[in-house]
């Protein structure tokens, strides 16, 4: 900023200029040849010396002007320093603004990355919650299965105890059953006495009559053969009824006129009922009936 003193008019004083011409002294020596040789080449004519003469007011004004010039110079230097400072501050502000912009961009990038990470964390948390729910469900199923296994183990233990009790009861029942059978057959022995033949120990007699099968049938009368077949039919029927054995060939006990049935013969459209007695001296049907009755005897014997 310019000083206000520069616009004031400075009063001027008359200045005298005196010119003093060069004079040659009479005592001056003429230059020798040697000096002539070393004299520089001629140049422009010398400028006459000016003599300036100032009065006190002019000097005072000059001094004041110098002070003002120094003040102006100082002010100029200060202004330039301030301008430099402002330029430096402005460049610093620009750099700070650039840094701030970069940091803002970096913060935005970090915020965006944080959002992505938060989304990933949220999805991972949801997946973790789902797996935790599945794990809880599996743990619940495992506990239910363990409880069911404990119940089944307890049931198995109870079943084993019950089975052991049933086995004991079965053994007792089987023993009692065998005893009853022995007693029953002992009673049957009184009803249908079975003995061995005195002539042939391997031949069994029922009520003193042998079984009506060859070779005994050849020498037996028809009445004895019919009676023996009736005894055997009645005995097989009683044993099968007591042992609860379904006979393969059902029989109908009618003493010496008993009959036997062949259910399979109906499929072949043959006669179903076969007599267990000799009718009109025809022994072929009787032998076939005795063959069916023998199958029933084997079935009852094997149980």
pLDDT digits (tens, 9 = 90+) for 219-250: 888 888 889 889 889 888 988 888 888 888 88
pLDDT tens-place string over residues 196-220: 878 777 777 888 888 888 877 778 8
Q: Which of these, 226, 280, 281, lies nearest to 254 by C-alpha position?
A: 226
Distance CA 57, CA 47 (A): 29
What confidence category does residue 11 fall into, taking pLDDT thresholds of 50, 70 and 90? Answer: very low
CB within 8 Å of 237: residues ≥ 6 apart: 247, 251, 253
| Pairing of β 209-210 and β 204-206 | antiparallel
| pLDDT greater than 90 at residue 20 | no
Mean pLDDT of 29-41: 52
pLDDT > 90: percent of the chain: 23
pLDDT tens-place string over residues 127-175: 999 999 999 999 999 999 999 999 999 999 999 999 999 999 999 998 9
In Å, what is the CA distance from 179 to each residue of 173, 190, 250, 268, 280?
Answer: 10, 17, 27, 43, 45
Tell me if residue 150 falls in helix, strand or coil. Answer: helix
**DSSP letter at 173?**
H
Residue 188 burial by CB count (10 A; 0-12/13-18/19+): exposed, middle or buried? middle
Beta-carbon-side half-sphere exposure of residue 208 (alpha carbons within 13 Å): 1
What confidence category does residue 40 fall into, taking pLDDT thresholds of 50, 70 and 90? Answer: low
């Amino acid at each position: 900023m310019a000083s206000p003193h520069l616009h004031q008019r400075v009063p001027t004083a008359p200045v005298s200029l005196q010119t003093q011409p060069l004079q040659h002294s009479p005592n001056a020596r003429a230059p020798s040849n040697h000096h002539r040789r070393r004299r520089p080449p001629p140049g422009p004519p010398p400028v006459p010396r000016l003599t300036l003469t100032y009065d006190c007011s002019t000097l005072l004004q000059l001094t004041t002007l110098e002070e003002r010039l120094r003040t102006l110079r100082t002010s100029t230097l200060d202004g330039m320093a301030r301008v430099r400072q402002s330029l430096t501050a402005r460049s610093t502000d620009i750099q700070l603004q650039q840094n701030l912009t970069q940091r803002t961009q970096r913060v935005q990038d970090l915020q965006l990355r944080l959002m992505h990470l938060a989304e990933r964390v949220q999805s991972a948390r949801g997946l973790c919650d789902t797996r935790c729910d599945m794990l809880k469900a599996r743990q619940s199923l495992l506990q239910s299965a363990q409880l069911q296994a404990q119940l089944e183990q307890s049931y198995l233990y109870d079943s084993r105890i019950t089975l052991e009790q049933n086995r004991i009861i079965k053994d007792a029942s089987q023993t009692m059953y065998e005893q009853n059978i022995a007693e029953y057959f002992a009673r049957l022995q009184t009803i249908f006495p079975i003995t061995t033949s005195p002539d042939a120990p391997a031949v069994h007699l029922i009520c003193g009559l042998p079984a009506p099968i060859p070779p005994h049938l050849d020498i037996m009368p028809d009445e004895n053969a019919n009676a023996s077949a009736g005894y055997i039919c009645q005995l097989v029927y009683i044993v099968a009824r007591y042992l609860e054995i379904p006979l393969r060939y059902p029989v109908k006990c009618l003493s010496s006129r008993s009959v036997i049935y062949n259910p399979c013969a109906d499929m072949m459209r043959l006669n179903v009922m076969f007599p267990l007695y000799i009718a009109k001296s025809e022994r072929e049907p009787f032998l076939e009936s005795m063959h069916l009755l023998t199958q029933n005897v084997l079935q009852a014997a094997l149980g």
